[in-house]
Amino acid sequence: MSAADALPKARFDALPLILIALIALAAWPAVGSTSTWVTLTVAGLAMGMIVFIAASGLTLVFGLMDVLNFGHSVFIALGAYVATSVLAVTAGWTSAASLLPTLGAVLLAMLAAMTLGGAIGLGFERVIVRPVYGQHLKQILVTLGGAIIGEELIKVVWGPAQIPLPLPDALRGSVLIGDAAVEKFRLVAVVVGLVVLVALLYTLNRTKIGLLIRAGVQDREMVESLGYRIRRLFVAVFAAGSALAGLGGCLWGMNQQIVVPQIGGQVNVLLFIVIIIGGLGSTLGCLVGALAVGLMTNYVGFLEPKLTMFSSIGLMVAVLVWRPQGLYPLAR
Amino acid sequence: MLDRLLSHDRPRNRWLAMLLVAIVVGVALTPFIFPGTKALNVAAKVIVFIVLAASFDLLLGYTGIVSFAHTMFFGIGAYGIAIASTRLGPTWGALALGTAFALALSALLSLVIGLFSLRVKAIFFAMITLAVASAFLTLASQLSDFTGGEDGLTFKVPEALQPSTGYASGPVLGASIDGRLLSYYLLFVVALLLVLALLRIVNSPFGRVLQAIRENDFRAEAIGYRTVVYRTIANVVAALFATLAGVLLALWLRYNGPDTTLSFEIMLDVLLIVVIGGMGTIYGAVIGGVLLVLAQNYLQDVMKLAAAAVQDVPFLSQIVSPDRWLLWLGILFVLSVYWFPSGVVGRLRAMRKGGADRR
């Protein structure tokens, strides 16, 4: 028997995954037609992926340092606004209906959103978050204050009016898969989401930094006592989370095709619901919660548009009744 | 007598006491000192926001929990009398019925939210209330048959409070004695009573337990106080006071819509008022409320001057433009959380020189 076998292995909890399948299956007869159902499912998965990208940073930061960042919304709004600027500058690339330059421009927009989000995240951590570690009440207040200031500064730079963010021509319209029409942009969103997911899973599970992050989430003091500077790690995670929020905001803005300064606040409510469903601090839970909320929103939006906002809250209440700490509670 | 009215919780600083007296006298005499509709409207808003912020202080300052659903209860109160008055006509009975329904609904909702989420961490409660409040906002703007949707409801108040009802033939001391003036003083008296009642609550044994929970909930639990019960009661009481503040606002505006009472901006305003004024001191809500509402209505005029002065500087002129007044309050907010968490009131009380502390 090797050493690895001797360690008790945590059993993987698959029940929440079945929940997603259940939501999708339950919606099938309700929607009626298979092709519409496929369209809605892809749209739901795409939305779930975008929400996951934006929320992953929030939940990691909370898990690692017990900091809930109400200012996360600023980075989402920032990402969306950077996307408008970059796509405006690269209008020449996207005017042609060919796919490659368009994807290049979109990629550039995403990179710019991530870089700026990460860089400003560093400053935000230093000025806003660091002085109030460990004081929950002050954290909520100060990060919220940061969100107010950030939103106002965005208005200073980009103006208070809404800015249209039209999708490039090459990403408009849909492709037919069988009978079902699937919008091209949703496919892009799913692919980007998968890339981020794989990168995140790889970093968390296969690298030393990931090991330290996971260990820090489990027991911060223990990692510190082994000689690692968890503060520094935390700053890096915070910046990465902000960069991901920028990326998520960039995609969300393109999804909405219109950007307003309040966009971050609107998404933030959704993110909170998602990370509560997933269990505060859990990355896997965040993914499952995001997909469940994305699917639910799209099905309900099709069946009963007025209930859209309540569907995610209803889902949250149902999940909390089932598992009061969320789908994947942190073991501590 | 005065001591009993204030529940033995004196301002404890000469400057603070003078400020408070000035505010009360100023608000009481606004119709006579500052003629014009704008001044009266601003003063009425000050009155309503003082009540709203003071009730929020019971949660944030005294119990140490952050709720983002406070505007929801504010909105319930306003919608209560708006809907009742549109359906039943402008009678006192409709107002009473609307208020009673609103209070009952607020009590029920706050009880459910409290029992559901106050067992766990403060952060959890903040997130849940944020989600519930945004859902309620959506609900209010979508049920347009009932709430008037985005447009809101314009309704009539009982005849005695209508502006067209005159009580004296000519103006007295520059103010016309009409239904509008009567509603103003109705607001003033009710608000004064509500704030004094809040002072009474926070200085009661119940209020002391809340403060103990704020300081160390684990120890409070260990001493034998059931923290969940106390927190939930505080949540319900605060919700009821917020509902009454909403009733007052709707009564004054004779209108209610999602943006006037339910929006997240109002929630931020209340947070700013409580933090800048001073958490955990009901007086802070009074000072903060006056500061914020005045800033909202008059800071923009000052900034207009500043913006005109630096018109040619590209970035600076953007920052001091009158539309960005919230930026400056946001910065003030963050600075106050860092350096003077007890706000203006705490600062004044800490000053040695003004020591009017007679205890």
pLDDT score recorded for residue A329: 80
Q: Which residues of B touch A316 (CB under 8 A)?
A: 131
Q: What is the pLDDT of residue A2?
A: 52
Token digits for B141? Answer: 């703007």
Task: Compute CA distances A78 → A151, A250, A259, A273, whole Å.
Answer: 9, 8, 10, 21
Instruction: Provide the residue ranges of all domains of chain A, joining segments of one domain with +.
Output: 32-319
* Closest chain B C-alpha to A255 CA, distance in angstroms: 21
Q: To which residue do tokens 């003036």 refer?
A: B181
Distance of CA A107 to the CA centre of its chain: 17
CA-nearest residue to B137 within chain A is A309
Helix (H, G, I), strand (E, B) or coil at A175: strand
Q: Which residue has the tokens 């931020």?
A: B268
Q: Which of B268, B271, B327 sits opposite A153 (nearest CB)?
A: B327
**For chain A, how big is the Rg over CA atoms in Å?**
20
A145/B330 Cβ within 8 A = yes
Kindly state whether residue B330 falls inside one of the protein's structural domains.
Answer: no
What pLDDT, on the 0 to 100 scale, is given for residue A177?
75
Please give the model's pTM, rounded to 2 decimal places. 0.86
Q: Specify if B327 maps to a domain.
A: no
Mean predicted confidence (pLDDT) in B205-217: 92
Please indicate, yes or no, if residue B156 is contained in any of the structural domains: yes
* pLDDT greater at residue A92 or residue B192: B192
Contacts of B130 in chain A (CB under 8 A): 268-269, 272
CB B250 within 8 A of CB B78: yes
Q: Which amino acid is at B276?
A: I
Mean pLDDT of A1-6: 52
The residue to which tokens 């809040």 are assigned:
B198
Q: What is the dihedral of CA A135, A137, A142, A145, to 10 degrees?
A: 170
The predicted-structure confidence for A46-72, as pLDDT tens digits, reads as follows: 999 999 999 988 888 888 777 888 889
User: Has domain A32-319 been given CATH number 1.25.40?
Assistant: no
Confidence of residue B223 (pLDDT cuts 50, 70, 90): very high
Are A140 and B134 a contacting pair at CB < 8 A?
no
The pLDDT-based confidence of A13 (bands split at 50, 70, 90) is confident
CA proximity to A309, closest of B161, B120, B140: B140
Q: Tell me the three state secondary structure of residue A258.
A: strand
Q: Which phi and psi (to 5°) does residue B355 adopt?
A: -50, 85
pLDDT at B357 over 50: no
Which pLDDT belongs to residue B109?
94
pLDDT digits (tens, 9 = 90+) for A153-208: 998 888 888 888 888 877 777 777 777 778 888 888 889 989 988 998 888 888 99
Q: Which of B126, B319, B333 comes nearest A145 by C-beta?
A: B333
Which of A143-152, A314-323, B195-204 is the least confident region?
A: A314-323
CA distance B135 to chain A (A): 6
* pLDDT bucket at B359, cuts 50 / 70 / 90: very low
Nearest CB partner across the interface for A149, out of B127, B138, B327: B327
Considering only CA atoms, which of A172, A195, A303, A299 is closest in space to residue A247?
A195
Distances (CA, A) of B72 to A179, A227, B99, B155, B178: 45, 48, 15, 20, 32
Question: For chain B, which residues lie within 8 Å of any Cβ of chain A, measuring from their own Cβ?
Answer: 60, 64, 66, 116, 121-124, 126-128, 130-132, 134-135, 138-139, 142, 264, 268, 271, 275, 315, 318-319, 323-324, 326-327, 329-331, 333-334, 337-338, 341
Average pLDDT, chain A: 85
Residue contacts between A and B (CB atoms, under 8 Å): 87
- Is A137's CB within 8 Å of B127's CB? no
Query: If interface means Cβ-Cβ distance under 8 Å, which residues of chain A face chain B?
Result: 68, 70, 128, 131-132, 136-138, 140-142, 144-146, 148-149, 152-153, 155-156, 160, 265, 268-269, 272-273, 276, 280, 306, 309-310, 313, 316, 320
Helix or strand holding residue B229 (H, E): helix B227-253
CA-nearest of B174, B173, B195 to B24 is B195
- Give the percent of chain B with pLDDT over 90: 42
On whether the CB atoms of residues A61 and A69 are closer than 8 A, the answer is yes
Give the burial class of A119: count Cβ atoms within 10 A of its Cβ; 0-12 exposed, 13-18 middle, 19 or more buried: middle
Provide, as residue numbers in chain A, all residues whose Cβ is less than 8 Å from the Cβ of B307: none
Phi-psi region of A46 (alpha: psi -120 to 50; beta: other; left: phi over 0): alpha
Classify residue B258: in a domain, yes or no.
Answer: yes
pLDDT at B190 > cutoff 50: yes
ipTM over 0.90: no
Say which of B122, B324, B334 has its CB closest to residue A146.
B334
Of the ranges A85-99, B158-172, B280-294, which is most confident? B280-294
Residues of B in contact with A149 (CB under 8 A): 327, 330-331, 334
Looking at the structure of chain B, the number of domains it has is 1
Residue B340 lies in a domain: no
Of B131, B134, B330, the CB nearest to A149: B330
Say if the Cβ atoms of A141 and B139 lie within 8 Å.
no
> Which domain range does residue B54 map to?
2-263
Residue of A nearest to B140 (CA): A306
